Amino acid sequence: MVIVLLGKTASGKTSISDFLHREYKWKQWITVTTRPPRVNESQGNPYFFVSNKAFKHLIDNDNLIEYKSYTVANGDVWYYGCPKISVEQAKAENIVLILTPAGLHDAKKYFEENEIPFKSVYIAASESTRRMRLHSRGDEPEEVSRRIAADEKDFKDIEDLIDVTITNNNGSVAYPAVRIKCLASGGRI
């Protein structure tokens, strides 16, 4: 089963995905980006970092389920996308995938056409918690403000896309991860 995590910036999606991978040996469906890696990020963790030319090649060869671009505070344009993986792998394993609401909208079609079971989980966190997390990881104040404002637009009216909402304000990813594991096992959370 594919578990799609959605959440506003700094809600804890990547930390929860990493926990599911580390503690439960779930596969991570690694997405692709043209943005530069942050401190403590590396190729394949949490993204495959590629050039604009390589990203365009993925688009031109229909190797992405979905993609989106963002113009950041300094004017640069960063692309993010979800590469296609083996349908058989997606059906046989627990896989966690982080997407935006627009990305989930496109991915749902791909999952349904290929009969890939999936659930969408919205990771909620208060704006004050998210701002604190963004500042603590060194994001520029202008970029923090831009991302918070963009989230308000991107996450408006997403209720129809979401199967479950889990709140992650306290920083402990174990509780959300256990609830997600239960969901993937067919349990109620």
Of the pLDDT bands very low, low, confident and very high (cuts 50, 70, 90), residue 189 is: low
Q: Are 81 and 113 in contact (CB under 8 A)?
A: no
Q: Is residue 102 part of a domain?
A: yes
Angle separating helix axes 13-24 and 174-184, nearest 10 degrees:
70
Instruction: Report yes or no on 61 lying in a domain.
Output: no
Assigned domain for 48 exists: no
Decide if pLDDT at 86 tops 80: no
When pLDDT is averaged across residues 164-174 and rounded to a whole number, the result is: 89
Domain membership flag for residue 108:
yes
Residue 26: name the closest of 187, 189, 184 by CA.
184
pLDDT band at 37 (very low <50, low <70, confident <90, very high): very high
Q: Give the type of residue at 174.
A: A
- Total tally of structural domains belonging to the chain: 1
What is the share, in percent, of the chain residues with pLDDT greater than 90?
Answer: 76
In a domain, 105, yes or no: yes
* Residue 69 resides in a domain: no
> Residue 121: which CATH number?
3.40.50.300
Q: What is the pLDDT of residue 98?
A: 94
Assess if residue 53 is contained within a domain: no
Give the model's pLDDT for residue 188.
Answer: 63
75: left (phi over 0), alpha (psi -120 to 50) or beta: left
Residue 103: band (very low, low, confident or very high) from pLDDT cuts 50, 70, 90: very high
Q: Which domain range does residue 104 map to?
A: 2-29+86-184
**Residue 66: inside a domain:** no
CA distance 125 to 145: 16
Average pLDDT (80-92) is 86
